[in-house]
Amino acid sequence: MAVTEKIDTLVNLYHNDKLSHVYLIETNSISQATNDILNLSKKINCENEYEINCHKCNLCNLINQNFLPSLIIIEPDGNNIKKEQVIDLKKRFSYKALYTKNNIYILKEADKLNLTAANTMLKFIEEPGENIYGFLLTRNINNVIPTIKSRCELLSLQYEDNQINDIDEYKKVAIDYISKIELENSPKIMYNRNVILNNYCEKENIIRIFQEMLKIYFEAYSQNKKILALNKLTKVELQKRINLIIKFLSDIDSNANVELLLDRFVIELSDDYD
Ligand SMILES: [Zn+2]
């Protein structure tokens, strides 16, 4: 069954009051699956007859802007999903939803729930409260703690047009990484672990992230499009970053130690005497 048909089946189950309270979804694209669950939420909540890209109603607009209080997306904070994040979710859903009949949460990378978070999550899954629906996403269902897995309805969303989704995913990581290394004050080396190495260990993936970064810096340099994090950079500073990325991409081919290369990259990036 195609993914859109599966989503429509879930919509029907919802309308017949038969939607399970928690689904554990295995998928080859977390970002694409997240998108589809957002679409599911639009389809069941839309004030109009939902059509693709509804911009007519408030609800769909709120969902598009990630602003609907009854829809919460949780993702790993650094290495894993922490207990506090689950407690916060519980708290926010202890009130009745204001604009919708249901509260929906999406938990990305369910395999990254640490043990205490998983225990808190378990209680929440067992007594979710009325009209709360959860969608836990993972790339590999076997990496999810068995007690969680056994309490969820299992579902698989596999995307054929991988290529396109992957590009989206790498672009998102690139923007996240750039925003952190350009704007935040903590030691930049930290983000090599948090954003990149803990999630991507294959050289090939890291190359794709840096290729996306190159595009973003280059667009800013040629004044086509600038993401917020690059607003304050001068042309000279942008040029320096472009050179460093090009150097990184040529070194990574012949150098086995990716970690070292990444660290050198951020150190040279912050070195003002260069
Ligand atoms: Zn709508």
Q: What type of residue sits at position 255?
A: N
How close is the Cα of 72 to the center of ligand 1, in Å?
18
In the structure encoding, which two tokens stand for residue 266, read together? Answer: 């951020």
Query: What is the reported pTM?
Result: 0.62
Q: 56 C-alpha vs ligand 1 centroid, how far in Å?
A: 6
The per-residue pLDDT for range 33-55, each reduced to its tens digit, is 998 999 899 999 888 777 766 76
Owner of token pair 């009051």: 17
The hierarchical CATH code for the domain 3-160 is 3.40.50.300
Neighbours of ion ligand 1 (CB under 5 A): 46, 54, 57, 60
CA of 138 to the centre of ligand 1 (A): 28
Whether 213 and 237 have beta carbons less than 8 Å apart is answered as no
Q: How close is the Cα of 52 to the center of ligand 1, in Å?
A: 9
CATH 1.20.120 intervals, the chain = 163-270
Distance (Å) from CA 66 to ligand 1 centroid: 14
Q: What is the pLDDT of residues 221-265, one digit of tens each?
A: 987 777 888 988 999 999 999 999 999 998 988 877 899 999 999
Residues forming CATH 3.40.50.300 domain(s) in the chain: 3-160
- CA dihedral angle for residue 251, residue 257, residue 260, residue 264, rounded to 10 degrees: 0
- The predicted pLDDT at position 161 comes to 67
**What are the angstrom distances between the C-alpha of 184 and each of 19, 179, 189, 236?**
42, 8, 12, 21
Which residue's entry shows tokens 């389809």?
Answer: 43
Residue for token digits 């290495």?
79
Q: Which fold would CATH assign to domain 163-270?
A: Four Helix Bundle (Hemerythrin (Met), subunit A) (1.20.120)
Cα–ligand 1 centroid distance for 77 (angstroms)? 31
Tokens, residue 146 = 């068995």
